[in-house]
Amino acid sequence: MTKLSVNINKLATLRNSRGGNVPNLITSAQDIESFGAQGITIHPRPDERHIRYQDARDLKKVVTTEYNIEGNPIPSFIDLVLEVRPTQVTLVPDAEDAITSNAGWDTLKHKDFLVDVIKTFKANGIRTSIFVDPNVEMVKGAAETGTDRIELYTESFAHLYDQGKTKESIQPFIDAANMAHEVGLGINAGHDLSLDNIKFFKEHIPHLLEVSIGHALICESIYLGIENVINMYLNKLK
Ligand SMILES: CC(=O)[C@@H](O)[C@H](O)COP(=O)(O)O
Ligand SMILES: NCC(=O)COP(=O)(O)O
């Protein structure tokens, strides 16, 4: 079975746009779990443009499924994760000015750094995952860091799949997943996965433990829920 971890960054984006507490991240996370999601993912960025460091602490008190915190392991992020102790930390090499995550780790170039950080998290009982492109050399390099899992960066899959290039979209991910399994790494995946592409991805990727989905899932929720909500307003306005 592949677990679904819902990334709630976008709910925080909405909340922050009005300065209040709507939507409430705590009750949203609880509801998302009660609807069957098997995990909650957040990605606090240094500018706190969506998830704030305090959200990470507050969510720890209520999340009862798998709690996954993603981010670039700068000192403040490392301290936060060690304080909060989520189920899993996913290390992502974000540039500060990037709109969203846009690359996986070069696990060969950053091996020593990753080895150190991963050792620290694992010594504190936190499972580790590192974000990588679908590249067998990067997967082999990931295994050398001591990480428990990798998260395959699926943007290229989503983009090519959307263009109808199905074989081209999935083959690097099949190769990377097979290599990860061979070297004993657990396999997660995420970025731009959606209702359109998730079934195809799941059917082709062996040993897929978990997907984290945020942007599309929240957009789909708005779109698929809007008819219902408009009718609820119309009923109240009769
Ligand atoms: C690590 C990753 O793939 C990202 O998709 C991420 O967690 C989303 O971050 P934003 O919500 O800031 O775009
Ligand atoms: N790790 C990927 C994630 O949490 C969500 O990515 P996206 O669905 O917002 O692109």
Q: Where are the domains of the chain?
A: 3-236
pLDDT in tens, 60-81: 999 999 999 999 999 999 999 9
43 is catalytic: yes
pLDDT at 95 over 90: no
Residue 90's pLDDT band (cuts 50, 70, 90): very high
CA 205/CA 207 separation, integer angstroms: 7
Could you identify the residue written with the tokens 């428990």? 148
Could you identify the residue written with the tokens 């069957």? 36
Helix orientation angle between 25-34 and 9-18, rounded to the nearest 10 degrees: 150
- Is residue 15 marked as binding? no
- Is residue 192 marked as binding? yes
Element (H, E) at 222: helix 215-236
pLDDT in tens, 180-198: 999 999 999 999 999 999 9
Of ligand 1's listed atoms, the one at least distance from the Cα of 90 is 1
Amino acid at site 229: V
Of ligand 1's listed atoms, the one at least distance from the Cα of 153 is 3
Show the ligand 2 pocket: residues with CB < 6 angstroms: 7, 41, 70, 151, 190-193, 212-216
CA 90/CA 130 separation, integer angstroms: 5
Select from 21, 41, 17, 18 the least CA-distant residue to 29.
Answer: 41
- Is residue 65 marked as binding? no
User: pTM of this prediction?
Assistant: 0.97
Superfamily of domain 3-236: Aldolase class I (3.20.20.70)
Task: Give the per-residue pLDDT at 97.
Answer: 83
Select from 107, 94, 113, 164 the least CA-distant residue to 134.
Answer: 107
Q: Which residue of 5, 51, 67, 101 sits with most ligand 1 atoms within 8 Å of its CB, as the best mutation to test the pocket?
A: 101
Q: Which residue of 32, 43, 211, 219 sits with most ligand 2 atoms within 8 Å of its CB, as the best mutation to test the pocket?
A: 43
**Any ligand 1 atom below 6 A from CB of 100:** yes
Calculate the alpha carbon distances from 141 to 44, 93, 98, 136, 212 in Å.
26, 15, 24, 8, 23
- Would the ipTM clear 0.95, i.e. be above it? yes
Exactly one of 43, 66, 151, 210 is catalytic; name it. 43
